[in-house]
Copies of this chain bind each other. A is one copy, B any other.
Amino acid sequence: MTLPEQLTGVVPPLCTPLTASGEVDTRSLAALVEHVVRAGAGAVFALGSSGEAAFLTGEQRRTVLEATVEAAAGRVPVLAGVIDTTTPRVLEHARAAAALGADALVATAPFYMTPHPAETADHFRRIRAAVDLPLLAYDIPPAVHGRLAPQTVLALAGDGTLAGLKDSSGDLEGLRRLLVALRDTGRDAAFSVLTGSQLAVDAALLAGAQGVVPGLGNVDPAGYVRLYGHARSGRWEEAAAEQDRLARLFAILEAGDPAEAGPTARAIGGFKAALHLLGVIASPATATPQHPLSQASVRGIERLLKQAGLL
């Protein structure tokens, strides 16, 4: 399908179900796509951080994208993460994604290296020039350890390099300044700002963002769709109440024991344990070297799902 001029709504960054031996479980992945599309997702985002892209080999990434495109079946656009350290490596993923039918690409700034903002801008320009698909920038400082400069985003929105931004910076004040600047310079019509601040979605939409990419939307896509609907209809206090409910559910990301696993493993492990408990995916397994959640942690997640009325 073709990406609409402006991407909007709830765009879950799909988890990548794995088997106990670490292989991609395409059947569970299809079920997860179904889970979020039926709930009203506006698009799906494969191979993002929640999708464990950083843990998947090139071949596994292709498997994921192929299965996602097939499961989406043209009902919603498929955004493909092309996350890697630098341009030459990202280009390999980008070409593969285009060949497999992705509707848009999502790339971070370079990492491992330390780029100059002008080098980061060139990175995005080279990707856009090499592969003819709409390109979104992914601002995720906890992973790449740098911020996308607002000037860079504005310049790349202005020259047509970027079709949007996935903002996982957590910086709502910066987001507002960007949204105001996009409107004031007339660059907002064909540019989508999607917030990754999954506990401040009401705030981001009130400030003018077009959509949201919530990791927690794997678990409760309907909740985010309701929140989005309230906001689009101006029912801001209902939106905030729904967001409060989702903020409580967010505790599933903290069910894991910090003495046993890092923040990435606890977040992804929490999503997957919940999806497994909900019967959406066949196994809660996460990729190596992430440590699995303990049984006690999983029981905590079960309680949270029950409290949220999801189980």
Which of the residues B58, B83, B86, B258 comes within 8 Å of A58, measured between beta carbons? B58
Docked complex: A55-95 residues within 8 A CB-CB of B:
55-58, 60, 83, 85-89, 92
Cβ distance A48 to chain B, nearest Cβ, rounded Å:
12
A126 interface contact, C-beta 8 A: yes
Cβ distance A284 to chain B, nearest Cβ, rounded Å:
17
Q: Mark A285-306, 1 if CB is under 8 A from B, else 0.
A: 0011111000000000000000
In the bound assembly, the distance between CA atoms of A144 and B142 in angstroms comes to 11
Q: Are B202 and A287 in contact (CB under 8 A)?
A: no
Chain B residue numbers with a CB within 8 Å of A170 are: 170-173
Give the contact stretch, choosing among A159-167, A220-228, A239-247: A239-247
Chain B residue numbers with a CB within 8 Å of A261 are: 116, 118-119
Known: A112-B144, A173-B199. A86 touches B260 (CB 8 A): no
Chain B residue numbers with a CB within 8 Å of A57 are: 88-89, 92
Q: Are A250 and B112 in contact (CB under 8 A)?
A: no
Q: How many copies of this chain does one complex carry?
A: 4
In the bound assembly, the distance between CA atoms of A248 and B183 in angstroms comes to 12
Q: How many residues of A contact B (CB 8 A)?
A: 71
Q: Mark A233-270, 1 if CB is under 8 A from B, else 0.
A: 01011001001100110100000001011111100000
Which of the residues B58, B111, B123 comes within 8 Å of A288, measured between beta carbons? B123
A218 interface contact, C-beta 8 A: no
A192 interface contact, C-beta 8 A: no
A279 interface contact, C-beta 8 A: no
Q: Are B114 and A263 in contact (CB under 8 A)?
A: yes
Known: A55-B85, A55-B89, A289-B122. A264 touches B199 (CB 8 A): no
Docked complex: A23-71 residues within 8 A CB-CB of B:
49, 54-58, 60
In the bound assembly, the distance between CA atoms of A263 and B171 in angstroms comes to 18
Which of the residues B88, B89, B113, B291 comes within 8 Å of A262, measured between beta carbons? B113
12 contacts between A and B (CB under 8 A): A57-B92, A111-B111, A113-B264, A114-B263, A126-B288, A170-B170, A170-B172, A172-B172, A173-B200, A206-B240, A207-B244, A208-B244
What 6 A-B pairs come out closest when comparing CB atoms?
A203-B203, A116-B262, A173-B199, A236-B236, A113-B264, A123-B289
